[in-house]
Every structure is written in structure tokens, then in C-alpha cells.
Amino acid sequence: MKSNLMHLVPPVSRDRIISQFPKWYTPEACLQFKDHFHAQVRTACQQSTGTVGLKISKVVVVGDLYVGKTSLINRWDTAGQEKFKCIASAYYRGAEVIITVFDLADIQTLDHTKQWLEDALRENEPDSSFIFLVGTKKDLVSDAVCERTELDAIRFANEMQAEYWSVSAKTGENVKEFFSRVAALAFEQSMIKELEKTAGHMTQIGAGNLIKLEKNMMETPEGNTQVSLSCC
């Protein structure tokens, strides 16, 4: 969200600045339909004199091998190897956002997303995470195939209480829009929680860290990782 841009540290490119609430992909599977950030969040951003940042928002990305998780967020992929299963819970725990990924060209990977989600939700409090269902490799399927697969995916998303998106990491279609949506929802939720805890006091937006993305069962890096809206 845009606020005091001259004070951003480190500098960010303008295509990563979110000044309007990003729109959903389809109204048939959407978490929120609103067009603007919460009024209290807008006010806090306008009044803050600090730099713009976030309390760390943990985002885990789960899905079958080769569905495009790594291409989507440009990070190391453990590919769900069995030897990492024993430590998976540590990376699922405390997730503000859970992104379940499947391959639009392989319908079987969609069937497996519910199990991936169940594994991640098992380590988190009920209703504590935003859930997204993302179909990748949109460039590999025809419009007709994509449309048919999306009908099934939207049904899955509604059952999973998730928001649905179709993307292509190769062409970049919907990637920036998707991550903008994730960042905006996570940011607003983080800010609202801070405002509730600091009622009557100014929330210092820049006192936190930038949003961090994590893959399922990956080694947690030291420091903070900035969301890259143009990584793919």
C-alpha cells in the first residue's frame, strides 16, 4: 500500500506499489469483493511517518511435484521429498496465507490439492489463514481446456473456502495480479490486527518486516524476503 514513498527503505520499483485494492480473478471463487482497503488501514497509512513495511506474513506454497511452484515464486523447491515430511509441520505452522498449486494440464494434481491443504491446515488455527487455489501453466492448455478445468477448480475452491486464480509463470499472465492480491489481503489483515492491539495509539507501519514467502518444507532463510511481483 502506498504511503510516504520517499521514505521507503530499500527503494522499490513502482510496479510493486499497491495503491488500490487488487481485484479478484473470478467472482465465482473470491475471498472478498471489496474495492478499497479498510478505512482504518487507509487512515493509518496516511498518518504514519515511518517507512512502509509489514509484520512478517508467512506464506506457504504447497502442491505436487512439477506443478510449477518454483517457477511461480522463483524459490528453491524441495519437491515434496519424503525426507522432509518430518519437518513439514514447522513450516506449515503460523501461515497467514496458504497457496495450493496444481497444473492446469494435469487434472490429477487438482485432485491432490485438498490433501495438501489438509496437511497445512492441521498445523494452524481454524480460519487463521487466507487460502488460495492456483492453476499454473496456463500457457500449455487451450482456452477450451482451461475453461473446462477451471469449472472443476472453482468447485474445489468453494469447497476449500479458497480464492481461485489461473496463472502462467512462463508468460507472466496474472502473476503480478495474483501476488498483489496476496500481499494486499495479508497486509490489511496484519494492519487490522495491529490496530486492534494498539487501539488509541498510532500504528508504526514501518516497524515491521516485509512479507515473506516460504515453500512447503523449505529451509527458513535468515532475515526478510520481499515479495517479488515481477519474479516470473
**Per-residue confidence (pLDDT) for residue 14, from 0 to 100:** 74
Domain, as residue range, for 200? 5-13+22-215
DSSP class of residue 225? -
Domains: count for the chain: 1
| Whole-number pLDDT of residue 206 | 47
pLDDT at residue 141 is higher than 60: yes
Mean pLDDT of the chain: 76
Q: 3-state class of 192 per DSSP?
A: helix
Residue 220 lies in a domain: no
Q: Is 191 a domain residue?
A: yes
* pLDDT tops 50 at residue 214: no
Residue 230 lies in a domain: no
- pLDDT on residue 131: 97
- Residue with C-alpha cell 514447522? 90
- In this predicted model, what pLDDT tens digit does every residue of 142-171 receive, in sequence order? 999 999 999 999 999 999 999 999 999 999
What pLDDT, on a 0 to 100 scale, did the predictor assign at position 17? 74
Residue 229 is assigned to a structural domain of this protein = no
- The rounded percent of the chain whose pLDDT value lies above 90 is 39
Instruction: Say which residue, 210 or 225, is predicted with more confidence.
Output: 210
pLDDT confidence of 70, banded at 50, 70, 90? Answer: confident
Flag whether 232 is in a domain. no
Q: Does any domain span residue 174?
A: yes
Q: How many helices (H) and strands (E) does the chain have?
A: 7, 5
**pLDDT surpassing 80 at residue 190:** yes
User: 80-115: per-residue pLDDT in tens?
Assistant: 444 555 566 777 888 999 999 999 999 999 999 999
Q: How confident is the model at residue 55 (pLDDT cuts 50, 70, 90)?
A: low
SS3 of residue 212 by DSSP:
strand
Structural domain contains residue 37:
yes
CATH label of the domain that carries residue 9:
3.40.50.300
**DSSP state, residue 24:** P
Instruction: Note the pLDDT of residue 84.
Output: 53
Output 211-214 pairs: Cβ under 8 A, ≥24 positions apart. Answer: 211/54, 211/56, 211/57, 211/59, 211/183, 211/186, 211/187, 212/56, 212/57, 212/58, 212/59, 213/59, 213/61, 213/73, 213/75, 214/58, 214/59, 214/60, 214/61, 214/91
Determine, yes or no, domain membership for 125: yes
Longest dimension (CA), the chain: 54
